[in-house]
Structure 1
Amino acid sequence: MSGLREDMVTREGKENIAAISCFGYCKDCGKMHELPSELAVPHCYALMEQLSEHRRIDFDLAPEDADPRLSTDGLYTAMRGRMFGILVCQDAAGKEVVLRAFSSRHNGVWNVPGWVPPLVDEHRFVAEVELGNLDIHPLTDLIATLPKESKEWYLKIAERRIVSHGILAKLNALYEIHNFRQEKRSLEAAFNLEKGIPVGTGDCCAPKLLNYAAIHHLKPISMAEFFWGRETASGHRREGFFYTSCAEKCQPLLGYMLCGVNNPIQ
């Protein structure tokens, strides 16, 4: 779905913004689950204003307390922009709760006050990556010394691929995916595709927002996501435009994660 900006859409365009949703098919119950975006969109525009004004994501802090790593300047470099998301929820008392998320890590930072946390413990993740590097780096160095396309070169390339897949499996096992039926699964068990789990699955805005809401017994009402920063190399995502949750990494998770979203808050 193409993005839409408030300052360049007609009445028909505004209706399209309201129709944007996060969604996914749940193989457990055989239903398509989704959230509308209408109530979250105004909160997204407010967040855009904060990002534009402060040029950092820790804008709740005084300037003298700001972390230089949390500047948004990097979103306008060759690294390009990222997705941001808002989830409007209700707590058990019916009070509105607004959650916000950024995709992946921001300049290497996983946890930022005022933003929902990742689905994985960052210290365990980093430790697993460092262990994996002890296996991968020697193979990479060895491959660089071998005659290209020789028999041994091909064998070591294949060996490195197997080791890499093993490391990814260990990293994926660190993720715990919750839904609104008070269930918890591994990333592999929750992912509704058989072709393999793409790198970075579980790190996007929608899974982070829904996982936090499920753990804290909040009822999701509306979600919207927008892109901020330098447009992607393909030009498919541009600053200030809204987009649905990605088909490759998010939608195969969202069916399971949204299951039970209409149940009473417990």
Structure 2
Amino acid sequence: MNSNTKEIITDKDLRQISWRALQGATSVNYERFVNKPLLWQIGPALKKIWGDDKEKFSEALQRHLVFFLSTPQIKSWFGGLFVALEVELKENPDMDPAYINAVKTSLMGPLSGVFDSIFLNCIRIVACAVGISFAAQGSFLGPILYALIYNIPAFIMYFGTAKIGYRMGTAAVTNLQESGLINKVLEAASILGLIVIGGMVYSNIGVNLALTFGPPEALTSLNDVLNGIFPGLLGFATFFLFYWLLKAKKVNTLYLVFGTLIAVVVLVALGIM
């Protein structure tokens, strides 16, 4: 990264990324979750990087409108990282733009799992325990201590990690470029993404049929037969049907949601599900 580009992103810009990360869950949609808050968070920095090239700026905006979901407290770190990768992309025309979203895909799941556990299953539980113990005795310190114990670590993450993410991002990209590992990272991220999607489909999409066949004393469930052939077969079939409708036929998401509700009601009424 040369000095001219390095000076584009200042500490002020990174502080802005941190402040905007506080609104990271203000516009959630169930198709791409918090992609719009992420874009709003890093949008000014993207404009500083790509503002002199309208087409590249448009590509950068579209690049960060893909699916994104992370623990709120690490959104500043992610923002700094993504901005660093955009800076590297501008400086290195040989860098594949797909690398940025590959990094996003490979990191947001594992890191969110770690920090969800830290903040939701650890710090929040401790804060609740302390707060409840005081509140149960009628002390006004209960809610105050809860807010302090939970929010102080959160705000440290919000306002202390954007610069860390920015520095780590540039260093990581430089090391990967020098070692020739970018293509391997892209391939690994793609494989990981497919594994994660497959696991999510199997665990979250359940299609259970009520149909049975055979003699009354030994009824066999059609659902069990299909799962014996391919576990979660109907769930995967439903997923690929929706994927085809979204990608190939450009069907509106709301139509799919309400269409699914109607179809389920009808199938249950007919005794199929």
Decide: shared fold, TM above 0.5: no
Q: Determine which structure has the larger strand proportion and give its number.
A: 1
- When normalised by structure 2's length, the TM-score is 0.28
Higher-Rg structure is 2
- When normalised by structure 1's length, the TM-score is 0.29
Name the structure, 1 or 2, with higher relative contact order (CA <8 Å, separation 6+): 1
